[in-house]
Amino acid sequence: MSDSVRGVVINLNAYGATVRLDTGELASAPAGDVEAHRGQYERSFAQRKSMGFVQHPGRRPMVTLAPQIAEPELDERLAEFFKSTSDWENDASGVPAHERHFLQKKKRAER
């Protein structure tokens, strides 16, 4: 069974990478995974950026980069939907719903 964990790359070398997990534990990443995702590993190493990993069971902690979902078509459809619903927030007066709600509560409190 594999677990999802977060960590930061603290060392890159020819044999893979060393990752410090959020739990404080050190884990190794195999060279094949590092080569397949070299840019992401280097960014995490240079910027100390936390990334998602999959921890594999074994005697020593070993991790591989968690799969990233990239669906540009879905992103475009979501953007179109949010653009089409942006006018739902405002009524004819142009006041956002959260402000209308606050003003109604304020008027009730004054009464």
Which residue segment(s) compose the domain that 97 sits in?
A: 72-110
Taking residues 73-95, report their average pLDDT: 77
Over residues 32-76, the pLDDT tens digits come to 999 999 999 999 999 999 999 999 988 889 999 998 777 888 888
The verdict on 53 and 79 lying in the same domain is no
Q: Would you put residue 103 in left (φ > 0), alpha (ψ -120 to 50) or beta?
A: alpha
- Do 56 and 80 have their domain in common? no
Are residue 29 and residue 55 in the same domain, yes or no?
yes
Does 26 lie in the same domain as 76?
no
- Tell whether pTM > 0.75: no
Each residue of 2-12: pLDDT tens digit? 688 999 999 99
At 103, the pLDDT band (50, 70, 90 cuts) reads confident
13 shares its domain with 56? yes
Q: Residue 48's domain is classified under what CATH number?
A: 2.40.50.140
| Domain shared by 61 and 13, yes or no | yes
